[in-house]
Structure 1
Amino acid sequence: MFFEYGPPIWRVGLQSCLVLLAGGIVTFLTKLYRIRHKFQLMQKEGLPMPPHHPVFGHLQFVAGIMSKLPNDVHGHVLPHQIKLTMPDLGPMFYIDTWPFGPPILAVAGPDPAYQITQLHSLPKYHALREYMRPMTGGNDLVTMEGREWKTWRNIFSPGFSSGHLMTLVPEIMEELSTFCEILRELARKPDIILMDPLAAKLSLDIIGRVALDTQLNAQRSTNDFVSALRNQIRWLSFGNEANLFERYHPLRPVMRWWNDRRMVRYISHELDLRFKSNRESNDVVKKHRSKTIIDLALENYLAEQARNGSSDAMGTNFQDFAISQIRTFVFAGHDSTSSTICYAFHLLSTNPSIRRLLIAEHNRVLGPEYNQATTRIRQNPHILNQLNYTLAVVKETLRLYPPASSTRSGEPGYSIQGHDGRQFPTDGFLVWSNPYAVHHDPTHWPEPNNFLPERWLVGEGDRLYPAKGVYRPFEFGPRNCIGQELAMLELKLVLIVTAREFEIESVYEEWDRLHPRKGPKRPYTEDLGKDLVAGSVDQLALPDVFSRKQRLIS
């Protein structure tokens, strides 16, 4: 009997790897050519974009802009910086940074933003679902579409209404009281203090109270859910990192799975407690008990079960969905609100005359004493509606530093119409509605880089009066931010309890002296004066507080 031996196994393996590598290279080059060629044709057709290189696309152009900005600046500022570099581009233009990002149609004007969010609401960008999945489990209101999204949005919307949130003000004030206690303790120390972690923990505690009526105690102690959430954020990835080890980190799947289990276990336990309490409480107790966001959703669910003649047990589908939404609310809400708190503190620090006007309003409406003010708010939360200047400060902070962008998927056959009638194809593009660019456009905002709360107090004929549709921090349309009323309420209350008692001061020079770093610290194309680029280094003090904030796109 004769045996014929083939090539060694290692050689077969090597050949297979080489074939796969060659296939990957061919696939990469083919996609590169198609994308670059598409942009070259669009450029010849006169569609607005920066100068496009047939090989590098806009990579060199974008790198040139970003090299003149702080190295930790957030990508939100890119469309605005491109417009400053090329003012004639208009409110829409295309960006090609593949393979570090998908082909982009940047929307930097109110009319095209209206078209894609209100006139025809484009679906959320498909990659956002995979990005959000580790945080939410996948069934979240941010990325859901169609009838499923509409059904569950309607279930949860009542819990986020302004009227309902007013009933939860006493619970929010309890968490703010803890926040102020911590600030008093820190104010006695000479150290530079990170403000953002304090604000983030405050926001986590508030969301825990209004969503689940649970005290996470993130401000004072370690909580397994909070720990898992913060750890999970560190493992998020869009899959476009330049560092390949970071992009394909071998521990990422394991850590995501472990953090996911911890979050689900904690929220499941809290949901079971709420369901049991809801089922066992009599009507009198239910009438006088504050209802959380999940309480209202659970009532709707049980009512639907009763109409269908089903059991009053909490179904698996509802529980799974509720867990996803709570994770979504905590993830999205705590980050955006905490960053806005930091920006507000900084702006008041660098604009003392505005802070004095803010304090004067609080004294006039709420009384000069802190305890008197908090008592009035607890007894009559609707008194907050009389604080017009406080609301103006919050809105102006959100104008300068909007918390997020909206990313949508283009559709075959759908184009956005420009002001001159020109059509902008969306198929194959990430359509990026960018409020930062809109909010800093002098076409719509006189003195766009100045902190002017009076914009929100003047009459329609005044030059500062905002035109319709140009203010979009929470976006418009059916997919607007469900938590915007909660964010506005929390921000107003934070200013009320801190403005009169604490003097918060920025300490750029001291921090830079203690922590020197290379590269620019301010944007190069505009003089922001005392303002900061969104997402870059925020330095706040109590009396010396520093916060570095990199915000997430949602």
Structure 2
Amino acid sequence: MISDLVRSLVARVATVGVKADPLSVAIAAVGGLVVALFVVPNLPTKHGIPGPFRLPIAGNALALAKYANTGKSHELFHQYFTKYGAVFSLSAFGVLILAVRDPVLIHRALTDTTSFRRSERAGQRVPDIIGEALFVLPSGEQWKRHRKQLQPAFAPLQLRNAATVIDPVVGKLADYFTDLAAKHDGSATVNIYSEFTALTFDLIGVIGFSFNLDAIKSLHEGTANESFEILEDVPIIFQQRVFRPPSTWEHHGIGLKSPRPLRVRKFLDDLFGRVIEERHAANSRAREPKDPKTMDVLDRLLLGSEELGTFTKNEVIGEMAAFFLAGHETTANTLTLLMMELSRNPEIQERLYTENKTTLASLKEGLTAENLHEFKYLDFVVKESQRLHAVVGRVGRQTTRDIDYNGRIIPAGTNLMLAFNEAHRDPKYWPAPERFNPDRWDGLKPHPGSFVPFGDGPMNCIGQKLALIEIKMTIIRLIERFRIALVPGQDLSYVTTITTGLKHGLRVALTPRI
């Protein structure tokens, strides 16, 4: 149909050359403009992959930005996947994007480093805030240097030490819930997302950098916490910049010189700059160098070597900010959505309680990072929640050469948006995908690319083991002490920024078991 229209317009233009009457000239001019603006952008591309209609110049950017601004981009992508299939094409201001839910292509994009790379696009969205941080760095030598320097901070000994910090902090939070329940007729009603956000915020500070920002204390005392509020604004700024060209950022209040981003960066420089100076001073006073086995993330960032080189102050600050962002929001949302499923499924909650009671009684050394594997049903529950609720719903990759995908050629330089949330619910790989069913994991080995809550390949989440320790210890201790019920009548709609969570949090009633 489109090709017929093009042929007719071309014929009309050719006729103009013969007749040259004003009406024909006008019709040809309008027709040419229509072709240039509306037809050409929507002609079949080299890859032949379908997608929604594209506007002139902007392509699909306006629709994407509209949904992103309201935190509902996940809804738009679901609509498109339902209509166009496992892969569809988009464009935004001349940039071609393929959205992918096909696990086969997802797995390949994450693991085949010769054909796919992480581009500079993510880092270009927050250069003024977190700069050169690991999780936005493109593939290349700089990423390798950061990853190699930081990897030892997540070694078994460091994880064991982290568990000794996590357990008592969660215990104190549980004590608070118990006291609150005693004051309110035996049940504590809280927004558990706020509690988990403060919890993970404090844990990342203590575990990664050996300082506490007292987010839990501020939350319970009702006092403002500037650290918490400012860092929470970063993923919102990031999301608002994603589908807008940089030339428009200033107009929307998110430019490199806009008050919000400048406030964030000044705060990061002041706070983390002070922490870095204090650590340098402490290291200078120390009689002996710090044992590498006891180093935290900040120690690793400050450590220099001939092989890797020393991180600049901006790199250190960027990585510190990135760890707070990536480490607390993802884990808080995972815990919240898991708690939502447990409150909806009391029989699963009671099975967890039974396993907890039996397994905890059998542990000779108490709860540690090493014996978490003994909570087998808990592992099923966590995985099923991560499958049904992919907190990091989408990540980007870029082709480095032409790719053959099911007989279609995806050109080099094409940007891919890998939709983990959609792949996790693909009925081809997941029977009854909308059902929360932890038992499906008994003996299950997922198809590669169909379950990637922490990504895959060399760029998988560096902190995934630490996150799982936080998640499992928190659930064990809360289920051990409380029955959790969903407060009825609340709005459980989702919101997407960098991560996906519940727009208004989650209100639950915690009733002590004894």
CA contact (8 A) 2:133 2:318 kept: yes
Equivalent AA in structure 2 for residue 41 of structure 1: P
Q: 2:443 aligns with which of 454, 458, 474?
A: 458
Q: 1:417 aligns with which of 395, 404, 408?
A: 404
CA contact (8 A) 1:416 1:426 kept: yes
Give the corresponding residue for 1:517: none
**1:274 to partner: Cα distance:** 2.6
Higher mean alpha-carbon deviation, 158-167 vs 135-144, is at 135-144
Q: 2 CA distance for matches of 1:152 and 1:417?
A: 32
Give the corresponding residue for 1:110: 103
Give the corresponding residue for 1:84: 82
**1:411 to partner: Cα distance:** 4.5
Q: 2 CA distance for matches of 1:124 and 1:249?
A: 24
Give the corresponding residue for 1:408: 396
Q: 2:447 aligns with which of 454, 463, 467?
A: 467
1:329 aligns with 2:323: yes
Q: 1 CA distance for matches of 2:275 and 2:59?
A: 49
Q: Tell me the secondary structure at the aligned position of residue 44 of structure 2.
A: helix
List per-residue Cα deviations over 1:351-398 (Å, max 9, x = no partner). Answer: 112111111111111129xxx99x712xx4312121122122111111
Q: 1 CA distance for matches of 2:412 and 2:292?
A: 51
Give the corresponding residue for 2:153: 159
Give the corresponding residue for 2:269: 264
The 3 A distance-change label for structure 1 pair 359 and 134 is farther
Give the corresponding residue for 2:299: 295
Q: 2 CA distance for matches of 1:481 and 1:265?
A: 28
1:440 aligns with 2:425: yes
Q: 1 CA distance for matches of 2:404 and 2:333?
A: 34
Q: 2 CA distance for matches of 1:183 and 1:124?
A: 43
Equivalent AA in structure 2 for residue 225 of structure 1: S
TM-score between the two structures when normalised by the length of structure 2: 0.77
Q: 2 CA distance for matches of 1:252 and 1:508?
A: 44
1:52 aligns with 2:40: no
TM-score between the two structures when normalised by the length of structure 1: 0.72
Q: Tell me the secondary structure at the aligned position of residue 453 of structure 2.
A: coil
Q: 1 CA distance for matches of 2:122 and 2:255?
A: 22
Q: Tell me the secondary structure at the aligned position of residue 481 of structure 2.
A: coil
The 3 A distance-change label for structure 1 pair 33 and 166 is farther
Equivalent AA in structure 1 for residue 402 of structure 2: S
Q: 1 CA distance for matches of 2:116 and 2:300?
A: 29
List per-residue Cα deviations over 1:230-263 (Å, max 9, x = no partner). Answer: 3445544316469999724689623322321221
Aligned residues between the structures:
464
The 3 A distance-change label for structure 1 pair 245 and 468 is closer
The 3 A distance-change label for structure 1 pair 485 and 162 is farther
Give the corresponding residue for 1:376: 366
CA contact (8 A) 2:107 2:456 kept: yes
**1:47 to partner: Cα distance:** 2.0
Alignment of 1:71-220 (within 5 A): 74-86=72-84, 89=85, 91-96=86-91, 98=92, 102-120=95-113, 122-187=116-181, 188-189=183-184, 193-220=190-217
Higher mean alpha-carbon deviation, 287-296 vs 322-331, is at 287-296
Q: 2 CA distance for matches of 1:31 and 1:295?
A: 60
Q: Tell me the secondary structure at the aligned position of residue 111 of structure 1.
A: helix
Q: Tell me the secondary structure at the aligned position of residue 367 of structure 1.
A: helix
Q: 1 CA distance for matches of 2:143 and 2:35?
A: 35
CA contact (8 A) 2:343 2:486 kept: yes
Higher mean alpha-carbon deviation, 274-283 vs 160-169, is at 274-283
The 3 A distance-change label for structure 1 pair 160 and 270 is same
Q: 1 CA distance for matches of 2:375 and 2:34?
A: 55
**1:544 to partner: Cα distance:** 8.2
Unaligned runs of 5+ in 2: 1-31, 219-223
Q: 2:355 aligns with which of 355, 361, 365?
A: 361
Unaligned runs of 5+ in 1: 1-28, 460-464, 513-519, 523-532, 546-554
Alignment of 1:500-519 (within 5 A): 500-509=480-489, 511=490
Higher mean alpha-carbon deviation, 199-208 vs 77-86, is at 77-86
List per-residue Cα deviations over 1:201-223 (Å, max 9, x = no partner). Answer: 11110100111111111111355
Equivalent AA in structure 2 for residue 117 of structure 1: L
Q: Tell me the secondary structure at the aligned position of residue 314 of structure 2.
A: helix
Q: Tell me the secondary structure at the aligned position of residue 263 of structure 1.
A: helix
Give the corresponding residue for 2:13: none
CA contact (8 A) 1:240 1:247 kept: no
Q: 2 CA distance for matches of 1:288 and 1:155?
A: 12
CA contact (8 A) 1:507 1:539 kept: no
Give the corresponding residue for 2:282: 277
The 3 A distance-change label for structure 1 pair 31 and 349 is farther
**1:74 to partner: Cα distance:** 3.6
Aligned-residue CA RMSD (Å): 4.1
Pick the structure with more strand per residue. 2
List per-residue Cα deviations over 1:280-306 (Å, max 9, x = no partner). Answer: 4355x955994322224444x2xx26x
Alignment of 1:539-550 (within 5 A): 540-543=506-509
Q: 2 CA distance for matches of 1:229 and 1:60?
A: 27
The 3 A distance-change label for structure 1 pair 287 and 179 is same
**1:498 to partner: Cα distance:** 0.7
Q: 1:254 aligns with which of 244, 250, 259?
A: 259
